Amino acid sequence: MIAKLRGAIEAIEDGKCIVDVGGVGYLVFASSRTLGALPNPPAIASLLIETQVREDAIALYGFATGAERDWFRLLTTVQGVGAKVALALLSSLSPDQLIAAIATQDKAALTRSPGVGPKLAVRLLSELRERAGAMPGGGGGALPASVPLAKGHAADALSALTNLGYRRAEAEAALARAVEAHGADADLDILIRGGLRALAK
């Protein structure tokens, strides 16, 4: 099984690239995030590889980081998520953003990825909730329980954080931790400070 490739990037196309290793060109499928991190051909680069062997083909999937590869492996354990859908998710959301989306049960964030409909998004959120916290970027622990952020001080704190330039999914995940620590009835300034501390980590 191939676990890593280092060679000249011969070409970068939509959803894939060709890596020349000792005169052999390997076709590697990858997320747009990984492809965007590659140098321009014919520069040398390294990719972590996940090899999938099927009856009709051997496919190589490349990743710029170990975190992305680990998430690919986790995503493809969910029924209905094949390699193509997993790469689409990783193109739309970074590992940290995936963790934030799962922490806040943000179905909309997942359905923005091609191939992910509402039913599959719900399945992803339910099946990965207990496992996502231990993934790279997840802080090594279970995710906080879902908390209501749609009203009261939590909603105002969410608005404040997004106005500061933080992405909504990140802000929601940070506020979920702040609410867990201080309670949903905490003062607005306490929730904002707690959210900022969580974001700083």
- Cα–Cα distance measured from residue 76 to residue 13, given in angstroms and rounded to the nearest whole number: 23
Could you give the C-alpha distances from 94 to 33, 69, 194, 199, in angstroms and in order? 8, 11, 23, 15
Q: What is the DSSP letter of 11?
A: E
Residue pair 44/37 in contact (Cβ under 8 Å)? The answer is no
CATH number at residue 19: 2.40.50.140
Q: What percent of the chain has pLDDT over 90?
A: 51
Q: What percent of the chain has pLDDT over 70?
A: 90
Query: What is the tens place of the pLDDT at every residue in 98-145?
Result: 887 887 788 988 999 999 999 999 999 999 987 876 776 544 444 444
- What's the pTM? 0.69
Of the three residues 103, 132, 161, the one that is the final residue of a domain is 132
Type and span of the H or E element at 6:
strand 4-13
Q: How many domains does the chain have?
A: 3
Q: Give yes or no: residues 75 and 128 share one domain.
A: yes
Average pLDDT over residues 61-65: 95
Query: What is the tens place of the pLDDT at every residue in 140-163?
Result: 444 444 445 545 777 788 888 887
Query: What is the tens place of the pLDDT at every residue in 64-104?
Result: 999 999 999 999 999 999 999 999 999 998 888 888 788 77
> Residue 89: what pLDDT?
96
Q: Give yes or no: residues 9 and 59 share one domain.
A: yes
